[in-house]
Structure 1
Amino acid sequence: MTTVDTLVTDTRPNSELTREEIIARNLRAVEAHFHNENPDDVDKAIALYTDDIIWEAPSRGMVYTDPAEVRSAYMDIFKTLVYDKTIALRRFATEEFVFDDQIAHVTVVGDKMPNLPFPIGTKMSVRLVHMFQMRDGKIAREIAHEQWRELGAPNDHDSIPDDAIIEEFDSVVGKHAPNA
């Protein structure tokens, strides 16, 4: 996989790339972003944002417009959720957007995420649909549509494609999925 450092230094504007190169770079940037969404590497994930980032979680009514605010929100997520499993359903891109659809099985272990609709101890199945708007290989807008459901509840029902990628993680407080 391309490293985050390589992606950050690839500052060529889209106008210098082919359509295929732009799409490939956008997919690599989002992959690196997800890979670094963990307490130890979150600054590498944030380095893939533009300076004028807009980060939204509409189901919780949250909008952040500053990389420092986004970092703080991520740290609160890490203090609130432990990832047990992720199921990557699909990801595709255009020259301007990357769409990612996944399911995360998480355990609520804290109370730092604003407007999280379930209490500590709840096992969740969260459908996470991300839309990333890209600009010259960086993320200018991230919208994380979070559909919170208790694991095993009647509304915890999804159509999982045969080629879905499933990763399981140790359920230990402080352990976070590298691709979540």
Structure 2
Amino acid sequence: TYTRYINRDYGNTKGISVGFTKLGNRVNGGANYTIAFANGSSSSPDALNLINTAVQIGGEDVVFAERKVLPLDWDERHAANAYVNFVQPNNWSIGLVGYVNSGLPFDPQFVERFDLNEREFRASAHKPMRWSVDLKAKKNFKLMGLKSVLFFKIDNLFDHLNHEEVFATTGRGD
């Protein structure tokens, strides 16, 4: 057996990004913001193939499913990033990097209502926003005549739990 892909899907991503950078002797930093829209009829090239395979196993004629334009799995509408570095040249530096992103779409499920057509609610809800701040610091010094650097890095400085996967009934990961 073999699988033949037929491109029957549609996808489109549009967006704009703006940012700035400030360079200085002791302090430098920057920030950017992106707004983007990713819409289409399927996030996976296998989606239509899975439907057709299920129909063929059941012995029915292949009928292509009605396609709707919905937010794609990677439709992250808002994304902002920022960084700042404090520097004492040839001595030490401390830097912070942070981001905040709007939640990705998911398919909600309604426990109380069994009469609802779930296809109508595909990608109609969004996961909680995600954010994090990282810290990196270094100190230059001489050790037995050799230039040395002591550094450390802390990922997720505030120990914030981002919900990457969520329950379809609550939209939360906890």
**TM-score with structure 1 length normalisation?**
0.24
- Tell which has more relative contact order, 1 or 2 (C-alpha 8 A, sep 6+): 1
Structure with the higher strand share, 1 or 2 = 2
Bigger Rg, which one: 2
**TM-score with structure 2 length normalisation?**
0.24
